Structure 1
Amino acid sequence: MFNIDFIEIASTFIVLFAIIDATGSVPIFLNLRSQGKSINPAQASIYSFVILIVFLFIGEWILGLFQVDLQSFAVAGGFVLFIISIEMIFGVEVFKNDGPDESSTLVPVVFPLLAGPGSFT
């Protein structure tokens, strides 16, 4: 009935584990905590899962709707990650944050760190 290819599953897991790089995001999590922002791990996991599943099934359609090719999306996502890193390293505010000051679960933790352009492509 179902033909399960464990080698394909393992290789996909390894690639996504390397791209998502949860261990490499630890300094960012610590920086957010030192700024007094809270991160809800369960909520971040659920948001990441939903974003990745939605993009798995309708991601190409969404990009086609806006006439954006996958390579351009990956480059633009890299620029967003670069700007967020500049904000965190130098303490400047490039993007105005009008959200609640105490919560940082969705941005920048879920998107673009956990479910970002690398995991979409």
Structure 2
Amino acid sequence: MNLSFIEIVSASMVLFAVIDIIGSIPIILDLQKKGGKIEAFKASIVALSVLIAFTFLGEKLLGLFGVDISSFAIAGSFILFIMGVEMALGIEIIKYDGPSGVSIVPIAFPLVAGAGSFTTVLALRAEYAMENIIIAIVLNLALVYLVLRSTNLVERFLGEGGIHILRKVFGIILLAISVKLFMTNVAIQIHTLFPFLKEALQH
């Protein structure tokens, strides 16, 4: 076991920023107003199952296309960067197609377990131990469950201004994380493609 409190906290913060369940409260409330009954437990369990399955099988799936994790992480860093820009600047780049279901679609997928979180869990595998990522996923989905159970309460507690500020703060954090992810994995690719550079740097 390679349990690390620092890795768990770091991975949890990344996933929290990407899943952005607090920032999704307006979408969830809109779904409820349109008559959609959200089953918090069902949505959370489905999203948890999908994310954990993708964490274990995602690498093999990528292998079918001849793509390694560090290459996927570089591509993922661009997605995280775009999401960070959206959150920090309050603009829409990635389009949301609107509700087509209730607990499973679009709450569990793609709102919680979507392209951003898929990219993130595989990108995290390039840096963190698997068990720490799994714990981070479970912690985040526990939070998702709590938020889905009490969206009206959370909205009243944070207020529109509080949710707005939280999105801005985590948008900036996400931008910083995406830059770090990009630089780390570009370095891995350079060392893989040009091993002599690594030896030269060591001397």
Task: Indicate yes or no: 2:42 matched with 1:29.
Answer: no
Q: TM-score, normalised by structure 2?
A: 0.43
**Residue 4 of structure 1 aligns to a residue in which SS?**
coil
Are the structure 2 counterparts of residues 117 and 64 from structure 1 closer, same or farther at C-alpha, using a change threshold of 3 Å? same
How many pairs align? 99
Task: Indicate yes or no: 2:107 matched with 1:109.
Answer: yes
Unaligned runs of 5+ in 1: 89-96, 98-102
Q: Shift in Å at residue 83 of structure 1?
A: 3.8
* Greater relative CO (CA pairs within 8 A, separation 6+): 1
Q: Shift in Å at residue 64 of structure 1?
A: 4.0
Identity %: 43
Q: Shift in Å at residue 54 of structure 1?
A: 0.2
Task: Indicate yes or no: 2:6 matched with 1:11.
Answer: no
Q: Shift in Å at residue 10 of structure 1?
A: 0.9
How much is the aligned-residue C-alpha RMSD, in angstroms? Answer: 2.5
Counting only pairs closer than 5 Å after superposition, residues 1-121 of structure 1 correspond to structure 2 as 2-65=1-64, 67=65, 70=72, 71=75, 82-84=95-97, 87=98, 104-121=102-119
Unaligned runs of 5+ in 2: 84-93, 120-203
* Cα distance in 2 between the residues matched to 1:36 and 1:63: 39
* Cα distance in 2 between the residues matched to 1:82 and 1:64: 29
Max Rg structure: 2
| Cα distance per residue 1:43-90 (max 9 Å; x no partner) | 01100110110000001222444x396438x86xx8xx5142xx47xx
Are the structure 2 counterparts of residues 68 and 18 from structure 1 closer, same or farther at C-alpha, using a change threshold of 3 Å? farther
Amino acid at match of 1:106: I
**Residue 22 of structure 1 aligns to a residue in which SS?**
coil
More helix by share: 2
* Cα distance in 1 between the residues matched to 2:49 and 2:96: 25
